[in-house]
Amino acid sequence: MDEDTALTPFRIDIPQADVDDLRDRLARTRWPIPVPGRRDRTDFRRGIPQVYLEELAGYWRDGFDWRAQEAELNAYEQVTTVVDGQTFHVVHARSADPQATPLLLSHGWPGSFVEYQRLIPLLTDAFHLVVPSPPGFGFSTPLSGTGWELARTTDAYAGIMTRLGYGRFAAHGTDLGAGVTGRLAALHPERVIGTHVGADPRWLGLVGDRIPYPDGLSADEIARIEAVRAEDAAGRGYLELQSHRPDTIGPALTDSPVGQLGWIAEHFRSRTAGDDRTPDESVDRDQLLTTISLYWFTRSGASSAQFYYEAEHAGLDLLMPSGVPSGYAVFDTHPLLRRALDPGKAIDHWSEFTEGGHFPAMEVPELLAGDIRTFFSSP
């Protein structure tokens, strides 16, 4: 039997009982007994400080307006469609220009389609924007089964673009979405106009793990790269747990909103620019809490963790060569990143910005939009 390829209109409408339950759970949080001396809300050396987490949870309970955020998200056309048995949620923001370029925007964890909320209006004059949620993320739930990793997701995204009527398209991605973007170009070069990736210094961790250091680096330069890798490794406990024991952390994220809040908010501190800033000083507080609320309401804290397990055990190459034009926008730039990732300068377009970090669409959407425009308008 052929698969149903229908595109079903979708609107976000979280039951009021779920909104009330969230507030009730937050009000009844069973907090740890504070460790004496741990009262600095900006000291993240041991993880997210409880004093800051209590402050953020209080705002989530009493100040955050989910219905207002829901209404803003519903301003965009959304559909669901089933690919290979899995339901996918897709935001489809069409340009008023019928000749606009289709642009696929892919995100990773702990992001969501909300990540691109402020980027969309900066690009719709020139692009038809398509933002799918990966399997197990947001409204691309529940998971239909095991085996949803990067390669299978990439094939599904290509199928979604076909269903939307886009034979050829451009692609941008960050985090896991950068892997999807690269695989699309490698596997479907006849369809992909170009690929644009948002990166940050944490990519230096990929160099030692996946790619040999280029020749000619001095001992001092290697030491500087290793320092970034060591700093990144200090915050990788989540990666090890989700890659190897997602079923262990899943129930805690599903049952405790403060657990889900801390699990995600801490990563908006460790992955954004500025060591002296709290997560909601790097990105908008309401947009951050909208993302976390989405994980909470859809129970995708548990199901999104499965993606890491599948990726860890799939044995896929992280980077795949292709002849498709490629562009990188590097935020919170590091002087050695290009030498490490692109020693032969094979990447067609390389931009570096001192601002921003791992979530440029949330941190510096104007810079990201400008770089996307520049790259895809180049001859």
Can you give the pLDDT at residue 1? 40
The DSSP annotation for 256-325 comes to -HHHHHHHHHHHHHHSSS-TTS-HHHHS-HHHHHHHHHHHHHHTHHHHHHHHHHHHHHH---S----SS-
- 8-377 has CATH 3.30.1060.10 classification: no
Low-confidence ranges of the chain (pLDDT < 50): 1
pTM of the model: 0.94
State residue 282's pLDDT score. 87
Q: Are strands 78-83 and 8-9 parallel, antiparallel or unpaired?
A: antiparallel
Q: What's residue 108's pLDDT?
A: 95
CB of 158 within 8 A of CB of 188?
yes
